[in-house]
Structure 1
Amino acid sequence: MKILHLIDSGGLYGAEQMLLTLVSEQIKQGLEPTILSCGEINEGTKALEHEAIKRGLPLITWRMKAGLNIKGSWEIAKLAKKEQINVIHSHGYKFNVLFALLPRMLCSIPIVSTVHGYVVAEQFSAMWLYQILDKFCLSRMQAVIFVSQETQKLFNKLKKSYVVQNGITTEPLSIQSDKRFKDKKIKLVAIGRLAKEKGFEYLIKAIQIAKIQDREFELDIMGTGPEEIYLKGLVSKSGLETQVNFLQFIDNPSRYFDNYDLLVMPSLTEGLPITLLEALREYLPVLATNVGEIPHVIGNCYPLLDKEKDLGNIYSKIIAFEQFYHESGNDKMKQLNDRFKSMYSASKMANQYKTVYQNL
């Protein structure tokens, strides 16, 4: 079976990491996947493309005019037909729209889409209108896959939808640390695209409170994005330059998880974060909001941040987590690691996607 994965990537975040892992596993299954990475004309090599080349994964670098480029999607459809592709797999609203609007007579190959995450847009905004179009286009797909049950509920009118939870390799990349929460300074890490929905500003405010309370907190933020200037300004205005470090994009950040006491994820919305799974694999404690698939992954092993009540009070929640960890953290971490291995492996994810393809 030949699968053509379509993506127009803006970085190397959760969706991109999931796709790279999925393609690697599909090759092990004996399938023939290829990533078609799209960008604008004259755009340089993307981070996803660098990583795919590094891993030796089949890759087509595709450049075309931006916007509602039906001609561009037709060219991709012709390529898919020429290469005898069995399934076209979209990873983002750009190709959802382009291929849904392409007449079926021009592309008879089954098309599926994975919705990696979903931020509900403000009503009557430009993004809100785009999401209405995206929902219509998803209804024209042969199958739609969600990474969380919560996101699937937002699309309850779709006739053929599935939930396939993200998975990663289960082999740890770092040494399990036995020094967590043993020093006076608490070392925190936050990872992701620097966007409003990730809630990093609430975490920076927690560092500010820690400074006022004369508690030693240090925060490393890994990632880039549209909120970077705003967040750096917030740090500077609060005088936290020695407490908060912006490390930009870090390749395979889980290699460094043994340096931290706690991963904090104050997100306003999520699907199933790859970073969360990596933390469970590496035995790194996690304090995260109760959004998306996160509560289902964590279960009752760890306390969660309530999105409605706790984001303004993350400092006290971190202090409470420190006490919780000293009392039962190691046992809970072992439970979570076992749960991760049984439910969120890359091979399990790939098998579920294969079943979706076979049922088309």
Structure 2
Amino acid sequence: MEAPAEYRAVRVLYGSYDVVVNTPVSIDEPRHSDGKSFGPRVTTCGDRSAKNLLADLIVKNPAQADDLLAVAEQVGWRIPGHRRRRIFVAGTSTVNHEQRAALAWDALVAQARTGRATTYGALAPKIGVHHRALRYPLGLIQDYCLEARLPPLTSIVVYAQTGTPGEGFTAWDVDDLPSGERAVYAMDWQRLQNPFSYAESGQTSARLADTLFDDPGSAASVYQLVKSRGSAQVIFRMALLRVYQWACAFCGFTYEEALDGAHIHPWSKCAVEHRMDVRNGLLLCSNHHRMFDAGWLTVTPDYRIEYGDTALAEGPYSDIDKLVGPDLHGTRLRLPGRRELWPNPDLLRTRIPDE
């Protein structure tokens, strides 16, 4: 039974922001054969292209986070192109979880130096939240530790009743949690930059990625604000997702989870001002990222893809091998819509042998 569109409060985790907007949604109530309702359900188009269109709508309004129009298919629909962005039928206030993660990081580093665990109840007041809301900043910290291959800092936050960490916040072998805790206590956390320090003033990774997209010349100033390499890489990728419209620049692959932010001139070799410059980056699927880094694939200054074994001497090649490698030779790179975001030809030359 289809009901007319109506306005409903929808909570959107937009980057690190909880945003509540009133959005028109279509509600239907599927029913049993006897006419009894299963209950209301939010419905929209469910295919991937529709989700990508929704993501595009959101990123075109980065400065209007509180006014973003979001359409929910059902509880838990993840919007492509936005890390940790889920839509929930709910209501809440706007919160910067990255800012809370910055506070929680410092509190956990100080706690780790004591060699003892803390509780959710003890940690929450230090960052000004109810203990139930800790899952958001702790989730960001855990993700960072996993990506940076650091000991599981969040594992030293435990329930007072059981002395064990919450499910999902161990980031370690569940059969050997004590070794994870020992690794946390042994780590010299003081030598590391707080990866969320950029958020202390209220900034967010989503806004910084928007800045890189809107003004690629701002890369040096954004990098100076972020400081942490791990966070810089995350924000760089977020910006490239938007620059390349969530599609591999080589093959058009669009599964976000398998899309990487690849540097043209490597991070370790490039100038500081190029480390977060989207013109020194390509959005590539995982396979093509590795082939690009290994030199199998390069891009010419006029944006043609070249494959390193055009004679197929390194074969035999399967049909799939040819599809992802030799068949791309001579094809044009999938370029961003705005010319000022196109890859820097001088940086592309650094990837070409003998250039």
Pick 1 or 2: higher relative contact order, CA cutoff 8 A, min separation 6.
Answer: 1
Q: What TM-score, normalized by structure 2, do the two folds share?
A: 0.28
Q: What TM-score, normalized by structure 1, do the two folds share?
A: 0.28
